[in-house]
Chain A
Amino acid sequence: MKSPVNARNVIVALTALFLLLLPAYSALTGNIFILTLFTRIVIFALAAASLNLIMGYGGMMSFGHAAYLGIGGYAVGILAYEGIGSGFIQWPVALIVSALYALVIGALSLRTRGVYFIMITLAFAQMAYYIASGMSRYGGDDGLTIYKRSHFGGIIDLSNRVQFYYLCLACLFGGIYLIWRIVNSRFGMVVQGVRSNEQRMQAIGFHANRYRLVCFVISGTICGLAGALLANNTDFISPATMYWTRSGDLMVMVILGGMGSLFGPVIGTIVFLVLEEVLSQFTEYWALIMGPLLLLIVLFARGGIMGVLGRLSRG
């Protein structure tokens, strides 16, 4: 039997514990910066986890996932701008709009496979980017400042750093729990079956694309939630959130951590963003180190960080 105590599980448990206790550490040491940094990390980890659901388990390489960050963010930003500040309205709208967008582009994109799928998802994200750039009422290229964070009738105060952090963390853990349930459900098994052998699944009688589409929509909706969090975190939303390099970042976080592993994207996001932060304090030219580092990871660490840990665990 596999022992539950192995390098991989220990790292995951320690990471979860670290994320849970971070505000306490921040309060004890008076280090506010680390809390701010990790709020951002937790939000991006949620986005990366949502991408991993379709990429790692569904075999659908979406190169336009940043679009949902933008859509979720703009839903919050536009409603706030129009005077609707309640999170009970803003957040459901963000989720619904993201889901609808995912439904439409998913239905069209799933006609294609492989690299063509990567490109068509990219195309739709770029369209969303240019639409946002064209919304002159909401700032156009310059973006939209959000003067008031979503309010939840006094239940939770988003302008309180610690409360906001825990809200983001709850969303991340909730999202991962949901993904775990999905992946291990009958539905998730079908989706993974379609990834490995589409024809066989069709032959057994499953409508492969229907399952794929539902999975795609769920992923987009979760990422839309990350977008709503992100907008509240930065108090700002701009088309740049949706630019293709941001989708590339998300992909990198997932692959770096380990695609198709539940906590891989979280680890990947932490490593990517912390590395970026540390290197940029060390040198202005942080990407000069980060770039080759990514290359080396690809060359020598197949399956990302979780893949390496998994191999270590097996000894």
Chain B
Amino acid sequence: MLVLIEQSLNGLQFGLLLFLLAAGLTLVFGIMDFVNLAHGSLYMMGAYFAATFVAWTNSFVLGILLALGATLLLGIALEFIALRHLYGRDHLDQVLATFGLILFFNDAVRLIWGPAGLSLPLPAWLTAPVQIVPGVFYPAYRLSIIVVALAVAAMLYLVVMRTRIGMLIRAGASNREMIGALGINIKLLFTLVFGLGAALAGLAGLMQAPILTVQIGMGENILILAFVIIVIGGIGSIRGAFMAAIFVGMIDTLGRAFLPDLLRMVLSSAAASTAAPALSSMLIYLLMAIVLVVRPEGLFPAAKR
């Protein structure tokens, strides 16, 4: 039972982290109709910036804030220099261009930080376990990820649903030409949205950094998860991304934790221990395939174009 609670929290934490990444991706995708494979690179850059700035400033909080700002600026610069010329182009052109950016970022990181990974040590006040219910301790840092991600999700919801900027974003998602015709500076709006997406990716990366090693290519594996999520949730839908992210986080974590034992009940222990890792890695793809076969537009499709 205790293990179940702990693993569910892990799943929730992973899901929320994925949501941050997927939210940025689905904003850019849904509004600008731009397929950004380099989103994972921004996630990686967030982690590298954090590891560097925390080491420089000797302060965890200050370093993280600097890293967040740096990723935001990087995203805006990227949009300004290269990506804005690709709006309205074929999805495949965007795939090719941003695939090129992945190559570029991976080697740039290798050149600047070297091939070995970095680690981002946690300050003492974040390493202590916290007692959440009697007898159940949970690492403070993971708990803080849950809190931060929930706060960001709420803020994102408020910004998108309750502010003028959010209104324009939503309008942009359903009809890009129209808001341009209304005299809105659509170029600036796009730059802002892209920057916001980049910052969200950076935030996900820097929060994940203390848990995993900061390494080259870390964005690629998780990028695919983020794509899976926005496809399951329905492209352009923040709500869909949220639900799907939690769902995927839970299934992935719980699958890895409990599938071996479950399989052992029906299979021989040797067969179970071979099949379980492969099966648990496959679970989310299986989920996506099933969702798409049943509902080809995803679970919560955004308003029709």
A30 within 8 A of partner (CB): no
Contact check: which of B97, B224, B285, B296 meets A116 at CB < 8 Å? B296
Does B298 lie within 8 Å of A116, measured CB to CB?
A: yes
Contact check: which of A115, A133, A292, A297 meets B235 at CB < 8 Å? A115
Considering only CB atoms, which chain B residue lies closest to A137 in the complex?
A: B274
Minimum CB–CB distance for A110 against chain B, Å: 10
Minimum CB–CB distance for B139 against chain A, Å: 28
Does B278 lie within 8 Å of A134, measured CB to CB?
A: yes
Considering only CB atoms, which chain A residue lies closest to B294 in the complex?
A: A111
Residues of B within 8 Å of A267, CB to CB, are none
Contact check: which of A113, A119, A126, A256 meets B282 at CB < 8 Å? A126
A131 within 8 A of partner (CB): yes
Does B95 lie within 8 Å of A251, measured CB to CB?
A: yes
Q: Which of A34-42, A171-179, A281-289 lies at the interface?
A: A281-289
Given known contacts A245-B220, A298-B93, what 6 new A-B pairs fall within 8 Å (CB)?
Answer: A115-B29, A115-B35, A116-B235, A251-B95, A255-B95, A285-B111
Considering only CB atoms, which chain B residue lies closest to A124 in the complex?
A: B289
Minimum CB–CB distance for A137 against chain B, Å: 9
Minimum CB–CB distance for B197 against chain A, Å: 17
Interface residues as binary, B215-255 with A (CB distance below 8 Å gives 1, 0 otherwise): 00000100010011001000100000000000000000000
Does B92 lie within 8 Å of A115, measured CB to CB?
A: no
Q: Which of B2-10, B102-110, B154-162, B175-183 lies at the interface?
A: B102-110
B 138-167 contacts with A by CB, 8 A:
none
Instruction: Please list the residues of chain A having a beta carbon within 8 angstroms of any beta carbon in chain B.
Output: 55, 61, 108-109, 111-116, 118-120, 122-124, 126-127, 130-131, 133-134, 136, 244-245, 248, 251-252, 255-256, 259, 285-288, 290-295, 297-299, 302
What does DSSP make chain B's interface, helix, strand, loop or mixed? helix
Does A295 lie within 8 Å of B100, measured CB to CB?
A: yes
B286 within 8 A of partner (CB): yes
B277 within 8 A of partner (CB): yes
Residues of A within 8 Å of B228, CB to CB, are 119, 123
B303 within 8 A of partner (CB): no
Does B96 lie within 8 Å of A298, measured CB to CB?
A: yes
Does A252 lie within 8 Å of B278, measured CB to CB?
A: no
Does B285 lie within 8 Å of A295, measured CB to CB?
A: no
Considering only CB atoms, which chain A residue lies closest to B95 in the complex?
A: A251
Contact check: which of B37, B105, B235, B285 meets A124 at CB < 8 Å? B285
Does A287 lie within 8 Å of B106, measured CB to CB?
A: yes
Given contact pairs A134-B275, A287-B103, A112 touches B86 in the complex (Cβ within 8 A): no
Contact check: which of B110, B227, B292, B293 meets A285 at CB < 8 Å? B110
Does A116 lie within 8 Å of B297, measured CB to CB?
A: yes
B66 within 8 A of partner (CB): no
Considering only CB atoms, which chain B residue lies closest to A292 in the complex?
A: B104
B73 within 8 A of partner (CB): no
Residues of B within 8 Å of A120, CB to CB, are 231, 288-289, 292-293
Does A291 lie within 8 Å of B102, measured CB to CB?
A: yes
Residues of B within 8 Å of A130, CB to CB, are 278-279, 281-282, 285
Interface residues as binary, B78-108 with A (CB distance below 8 Å gives 1, 0 otherwise): 0000100110010111111101111111111
Does B107 lie within 8 Å of A288, measured CB to CB?
A: yes
Does B279 lie within 8 Å of A134, measured CB to CB?
A: yes
Residues of A within 8 Å of B274, CB to CB, are 134, 136
15 contacts between A and B (CB under 8 A): A114-B91, A115-B29, A116-B231, A116-B292, A123-B292, A126-B282, A126-B285, A127-B285, A133-B281, A248-B95, A255-B92, A286-B107, A288-B111, A291-B102, A291-B105
Considering only CB atoms, which chain B residue lies closest to A55 in the complex?
A: B92
Given contact pairs A111-B296, A116-B297, A291-B104, A259 touches B111 in the complex (Cβ within 8 A): no
Minimum CB–CB distance for A48 against chain B, Å: 13
CA–CA, A131 to B276, complex, Å?
10
CA–CA, A286 to B104, complex, Å?
9
CA–CA, A245 to B223, complex, Å?
11
Residues of A within 8 Å of B102, CB to CB, are 291
Residues of B within 8 Å of A122, CB to CB, are 224, 227
Contact check: which of A124, A134, A259, A285 meets B277 at CB < 8 Å? A134
Residues of A within 8 Å of B92, CB to CB, are 55, 61, 251, 255, 259
CA–CA, A29 to B102, complex, Å?
37
Contact check: which of B96, B105, B275, B296 meets A112 at CB < 8 Å? B296
